[in-house]
Amino acid sequence: MTNKSKEISISEKLLRKIKGKSAAIGIVGLGYVGLPLALAFAKAGFNVNGIDVDPKKINNINRGISYLLDVKSEQLKKAVSAGKLKATSQSKTLGTVDVIIICVPTTLTSTKEPDLTYINVATNQIAKYLRKGQLVILESTTYPGTTREVVFPVFESTGLKIGKDYFLSFSPERVDPGSKQFTIKNTPKVVGGMEPKSTKLAATLYSNVSDKVVEVSTPEAAEMDKVFENVFRSVNIAMANELAMLCEKMNISVWEVIKAASSKPFGFMPFYPGPGVGGHCIPLDPYYLASKARAYDFHTHFIELAAEINETMPDYIVTRITDALNSRSKSVKGAKVLLLGVTYKKDVEDLRESPVLRVIELLLEKGTDLHFHDPYVSEVKMKNKVLKSIKLDKKQLNSHDCVVITSDHSCFDLNFIIANSKLVLDTRGATLNFKGNNILRLGEPSKKEG
Ligand SMILES: NC(=O)c1ccc[n+]([C@@H]2O[C@H](COP(=O)([O-])OP(=O)(O)OC[C@H]3O[C@@H](n4cnc5c(N)ncnc54)[C@H](O)[C@@H]3O)[C@@H](O)[C@H]2O)c1
C-alpha cells in the first residue's frame, strides 16, 4: 500500500464512522453550549462522552439532572439511561473518542484583552491523547487565527500531521439561549477546516444534527463570521439604545418608531433598547476582534463605540429611576426599589455579564433599599452583600416606591404587576400593550413622571 492510499484510508475510515454514527464523540466543556450539543448528538444516535472539570455538572448529567433551562432533565435522563451520553472528568477519555469538540469558555482579562487560558488548557489536554484518525473541532468563540495560531501548533508538536493523521476545524456555536424558535437543528452550522478533509469531516458530522451546514474555506473565515455576527448585534443594539435616549428627549416613543420601521420589508431588521448587553457573547466577543485588529494597526471604531454606549446603559437606567423617584419627591437614597428579572435577557437563568448586576451595584452605592425578584435566580452575590430573590405578591409590589422591569421573563404577570405597583419603569418594552399612569418606559418621554 502506498503512503497516499494510507492517507485516504484514515480520513475515509473516519468519514464512514461519522456517516454510520459509530464515531464516538467527546465534548470538552458541558456548559450552555456543550451540554445541548452533547444531547443533540446523543439523540442523533452517537455515543457521546462529555468531559468537564466541574464535578457537580458531571454528577448531575450522569443522574439525568439538567442545570440548564434549555435542556430538559427528561431528555437528558433518556439519553443517559440509553447509554448514549456519559459525563466524566477523566481527560484520558479524549484518547478513546473519534471526534473531540471544544466548548470551553473564552473570557476577558480585567483589561478586556482575550484570555485564552481555557482553550490553551483544553488544547494541551487533547494533545496528550491525540492519535491518528481523530477530528478536533473548536467551537468556543474567539478571534480569527486562534485555531491556526494557538491550537494547531500544539497538535503538530505531537508529530502527527494535519490532513493525514488528524483533522482540525473551527465551527462557531450559534445557540440562542431561551429561544423556542431556533434550535441546533434549524440553525445552519458554519464550518471551516485547516484543510479540505477537515472541513468535509466536520461538515458531515454536523449534518447529523443540523439541517444545513455552510462550509467556508478556512478556520479564520469561520472565526471571523462568528465575531462579526456578535459585533453586528452589539452595534445594532447600541444604535437602538442611543435612539431610545434621543427619543425620550424628543418626545417620541422609540418602540413606536421601531415598530413602524419594522414594517419595511427590506433593508431593516429590528433591534431593541434595554439596560445593556449581557451573556457570554455580545459583551465579550467584540473585544476579541478589536484586540486582534490592533495587531494589524487597525482600530475597530464601531466595536469600541457600541461597547461604550451599551456599557453606559445601566447608569442611564439608574438616572431614570432617580428622576422618576425625584419627581415623586422621593430621594433614591432610602427608596424601596424592586428589580424584576436580573438575568441578561428574558427566559434564561444566565447571570453572566448581566447589565442588571451593574444596575444593582449602582443602586446599592446610592443607598437604595433594593430588592429583586427572578423566578430563575435565587440569589445574587455582590461585593459585600447577598441579595435573595423575594416573593412577588401584592404587598411586596405595593410596598416599593419603584418597580423596574429589568428582564422581561415571559412568566411575569404584567397585569398583576402594573395593578399593584405605585410606579413601574419598564426597560424592555414589555408593557407596550398596557395602559396606566404608573408606567414609564425606557425610550419614551419622561414628562409623565410626577
Ligand atoms: N452561552 C452562549 O449563549 C454561547 C453562544 C455561542 C457561543 N458561545 C461560546 O461558547 C463557548 C462556551 O460558552 P458556554 O456559555 O457554554 O460556557 P460555560 O461556562 O457555560 O461552559 C463551559 C464549560 O467548560 C468547562 N471547562 C472549562 N475548562 C475545561 C477543561 N479544560 N476541560 C473540560 N471542561 C472545561 C466548564 O467547567 C464549563 O462547564 C464560549 O467561547 C462562548 O463564547 C456561547
- Average pLDDT over every residue of 237-242: 98
Using the predicted structure, report yes or no on whether residue 163 has a pLDDT greater than 80: yes
**Contact call for residues 53 and 70 (beta carbons, < 8 A):** no
Contact residues of ligand 1, CB 6 A cut-off = 28-34, 51-54, 57, 103-106, 118, 121-122, 125, 140-141, 173, 175, 177, 279-281
CA 415 to centroid of ligand 1, rounded, Å: 37
Q: Would you call 247 a catalytic residue per the annotation? A: no
* Residue 129, burial from CB neighbour count under 10 angstroms (0-12, 13-18, 19+): middle
* 274: nearest Cα among 265, 283, 266: 283
**Contact call for residues 43 and 230 (beta carbons, < 8 A):** no
CA angle, 96 then 204 then 176, to 5°: 90
CA 141 to centroid of ligand 1, rounded, Å: 9
pLDDT in tens, 91-136: 999 999 999 999 999 999 989 899 999 999 999 999 999 999 999 9
- Average pLDDT over every residue of 327-347: 97
Using the predicted structure, report yes or no on whether residue 1 has a pLDDT greater than 60: no
CA 31 to centroid of ligand 1, rounded, Å: 5
Three-class DSSP category at 423: coil
Three-class DSSP category at 343: coil
- Which residues, in sequence order, are bridge partners of residue 166? 134, 162
Amino acid, single-letter form, for residue 151: V
How many other CB atoms are there within 10 angstroms of residue 6's CB atom? 12
CA angle, 297 then 226 then 88, to 5°: 120
**Contact call for residues 192 and 171 (beta carbons, < 8 A):** yes
Q: What's residue 350's pLDDT?
A: 94
pLDDT in tens, 17-71: 999 999 999 999 999 999 999 999 999 999 999 999 999 999 999 999 999 998 9
61/30 Cα distance (integer angstroms)? 9
**Contact call for residues 165 and 190 (beta carbons, < 8 A):** no
229/125 Cα distance (integer angstroms)? 30
Indicate the pLDDT class of residue 4, thresholds 50, 70 and 90: low
Nearest CA owner, ligand 1 atom 13: 105
- Average pLDDT over every residue of 175-196: 93
Q: What's residue 176's pLDDT?
A: 85
pLDDT in tens, 140-158: 999 999 999 999 999 999 9
Cell 465551527, located at residue = 171
Cell 482553550, located at residue = 119
Catalytic residue among 247, 281, 402, 411: 281
Indicate the pLDDT class of residue 222, thresholds 50, 70 and 90: very high
- Average pLDDT over every residue of 348-372: 97
From 27, 28, 30, 33, give the residue whose CB has the most ligand 1 atoms within 8 Å, as the site to mutate.
33
Using the predicted structure, report yes or no on whether residue 332 has a pLDDT greater than 80: yes
Indicate the pLDDT class of residue 445, thresholds 50, 70 and 90: confident
Enumerate the H helices of 44-116 as residue ranges. Answer: 55-62, 73-81
273/69 Cα distance (integer angstroms)? 25
254/3 Cα distance (integer angstroms)? 66
76/62 Cα distance (integer angstroms)? 9
- Average pLDDT over every residue of 264-273: 97
135/151 Cα distance (integer angstroms)? 13
Using the predicted structure, report yes or no on whether residue 447 has a pLDDT greater than 80: no
Using the predicted structure, report yes or no on whether residue 2 has a pLDDT greater than 70: no
Indicate the pLDDT class of residue 6, thresholds 50, 70 and 90: low
| β 424-426/402-405 pair status | parallel
Cell 449581557, located at residue = 278
From 54, 66, 173, give the residue whose CB has the most ligand 1 atoms within 8 Å, as the site to mutate.
173
Nearest CA owner, ligand 1 atom 33: 52
Using the predicted structure, report yes or no on whether residue 320 has a pLDDT greater than 50: yes
Using the predicted structure, report yes or no on whether residue 339 has a pLDDT greater than 50: yes
* More confident call, 280 vs 55: 55
Q: What's residue 450's pLDDT?
A: 43
CA 353 to centroid of ligand 1, rounded, Å: 14
Indicate the pLDDT class of residue 180, thresholds 50, 70 and 90: confident
